[in-house]
Structure 1
Amino acid sequence: MQQSTRPAGERCHLPVVSMENVSFQYEQRNVIEELNFQILQRDFVGLIGSNGAGKTTLLRMIVGLLKPDRGEVRLFGTPLGQFHDWERIGYVPQKNAFNPLFPATVREVVLSGLYGRKKLFKRMNRDDYKKCEDAMHALRIEELADRRIGRLSGGQQQRVFLARALVNNPELLILDEPTVGIDSESQENFFHMIRHMHQRHNITFLMVSHDIEMMHAYLGYEPAHTSGKIKFFVKHTHELDNCAETNLAHSLRGIRLAEESLEAVNRGE
């Protein structure tokens, strides 16, 4: 992928997702109506709203799984219908979208994140396996590599799906209820990990979560935008030394170090 020649600070303010007059109906009910919102590079956008507010619907439109009834969605400046660079986007869907009986190992699930929509049957090479090993190591699941995904705990499964989403070194990471069904300690570790990723690496985040306390703790209490029953909370980071960081191995090492540091604090060291 060709790197931008713009100054780092300017790149951090380019639009990643643009939604113009977007509307969507489900069973003749307006779920999303005339939504206008833009997500910029290095934004962390948290969506908060009641069940049925349209949060998951919005995420599914952004990743191309649903088509808006009206309006336009753009990804990195390209209309959704013309966008093909899906490797630039990592997506972790709701846990209930996963079939626990799916007969795949952790390694196979993480590797599947490298296939892409145009490369469903691509042959894996040495670099692909190295990316997979790096992602599993960073998320601390390398010892689970040969275990069936359905036999893991909820927290372990979420780490696998996050590793799968990160293995392609995405510029946009979309997370739909990533902490549902995992214990409080795993939730705390997860939020610590993604805060580190947002603060230190060139990744834009869009996340839905019912953990309102942790969302507010990082994103504040005043929404940047409200559309219907959905509130958009936004935090932007643009430390110039980090804006150009796109190296997967560096980013993933940073995640692991951040987790180890948190564990040391919790042990009182």
Structure 2
Amino acid sequence: MEQHSGGVLERGADCHQDVISLENVSFSYQGQRQVIDGLNLTVKERDFVGLIGSNGAGKTTLMRIIVGLLKPDGGSVRLFGQPIAEFKDWNRVGYVPQKNSFNPLFPATVREVVMSGLYGRSKLFRRLTKADYQKGEDAMHAMGIEELSAKRIGQLSGGQQQRVFLARALINNPSLLILDEPTVGIDTETQESFFHMIKHMHQHHNITFLMVSHDLDMIRSYLGERPASEYGKLKFYLKHSHDLQDCVESDLTHSLRGLRQQMESRKEVVEVGNFR
């Protein structure tokens, strides 16, 4: 393994293509201190990278740079080997931002937000198929929001909104899933079921994960006790999946349905226990 400074992660020689590549990236908000200075980061296919850092360390800024919402002051950003300015395959990227970055006045229903995950940035409108609508129904059912489908997104609680954005990010079977504190505002039971699901997705599907989390115990339980790399106040934990893609189903909707079934089974066990 090679050790590089500035945030490049360590891994074995049997890894696959670069999914995210940042080289000497710097960024500062206008009139403020430099948030990121000379960051190098490489995330390989089928990596699961967990990012931990204190408030103001640059976690969300880094996520927004990677998905093209912020332009760095210097350095280069590549997705799947392509410069981000030339990258067109945004349907390969699922992104769940922090819930506090969402405009609650956005005039869309829950169903419309979830289904918008099927649109690429270059194709804002296209004819949806019966299979597309079924994916939307599966995603909403998995996250327990099917009864909210006709409500405006701004009418929901923070936890409900986060479930909507999780469903939106998963609906298009992404190759890269970027999650910025995805379980904030969600109850403990759903957090556990969601983390179980994404571990399954990482182990059995060709998906790369980059997740910001405040839950150090959850990160360590799957990615190990020690970070693979550090940059300033940012700590990067890493696990690479060497498992075969041995799911009979290649579509992620079976994982979504499985999550919902698992949640319902747990609820039934609790209810029976309480009755006794």
User: CA–CA distance in 1 between the matches of 2:213 and 2:203?
Assistant: 19
> Alpha carbons of 1:223 and 1:70: their partners in 2 closer, same or farther (altered >3 Å)?
same
SS of aligned partner of 1:113: helix
SS of aligned partner of 1:17: strand
Alignment of 1:23 with 2:23, yes or no, is no
> Alpha carbons of 1:28 and 1:93: their partners in 2 closer, same or farther (altered >3 Å)?
same
Structure 1 residue corresponding to 2:168, chosen from 164, 168, 171: 164
Alignment of 1:247 with 2:229, yes or no, is no
Amino acid at match of 2:23: E
User: CA–CA distance in 2 between the matches of 1:13 and 1:119?
Assistant: 29
Provide, for residues 53-81 of structure 1, a one-character-per-residue CA deviation record: whole Å limited to 9, x for no partner.
11111110110111122211111111111
Provide, for residues 16-68 of structure 1, a one-character-per-residue CA deviation record: whole Å limited to 9, x for no partner.
11111111122352211221121112211111111111111111011011112
Unpaired runs of 5+ residues, structure 1, are 1-9
Alignment of 1:209 with 2:213, yes or no, is yes
User: CA–CA distance in 2 between the matches of 1:192 and 1:250?
Assistant: 14
User: CA–CA distance in 2 between the matches of 1:46 and 1:227?
Assistant: 13
User: CA–CA distance in 1 between the matches of 2:155 and 2:89?
Assistant: 33
| TM-score between the two structures when normalised by the length of structure 2 | 0.84
Amino acid at match of 2:53: G
* Residue-pair matches, total: 260
**Residue number in structure 2 paired with 1:189:** 193
User: CA–CA distance in 1 between the matches of 2:245 and 2:120?
Assistant: 30
**Residue number in structure 1 paired with 2:17:** 14
SS of aligned partner of 2:41: strand
Provide, for residues 139-192 of structure 1, a one-character-per-residue CA deviation record: whole Å limited to 9, x for no partner.
332232223323333332222111101111101111112122233333333323
**Residue number in structure 1 paired with 2:10:** none
SS of aligned partner of 1:213: helix
**Residue number in structure 2 paired with 1:72:** 76
Is the contact between residue 93 and residue 177 of structure 2 (CA under 8 Å) also seen in structure 1? yes
User: CA–CA distance in 2 between the matches of 1:265 and 1:217?
Assistant: 25
The percent identity for this pair of structures is 68
**Residue number in structure 2 paired with 1:118:** 122
RMSD: 2.6
Deviation of 1:263 after TM superposition, in Å, equals: 5.0
**Residue number in structure 2 paired with 1:4:** none
SS of aligned partner of 1:82: coil
Alignment of 1:238 with 2:242, yes or no, is yes
Deviation of 1:133 after TM superposition, in Å, equals: 1.6
User: CA–CA distance in 2 between the matches of 1:96 and 1:244?
Assistant: 38
> Alpha carbons of 1:162 and 1:123: their partners in 2 closer, same or farther (altered >3 Å)?
same
Structure 2 residue corresponding to 1:40, chosen from 5, 22, 44: 44
User: CA–CA distance in 1 between the matches of 2:270 and 2:41?
Assistant: 39
| TM-score between the two structures when normalised by the length of structure 1 | 0.86
Amino acid at match of 1:21: N
User: CA–CA distance in 2 between the matches of 1:177 and 1:80?
Assistant: 23
User: CA–CA distance in 2 between the matches of 1:20 and 1:36?
Assistant: 5
**Residue number in structure 1 paired with 2:59:** 55
User: CA–CA distance in 1 between the matches of 2:102 and 2:141?
Assistant: 23
Amino acid at match of 2:25: V
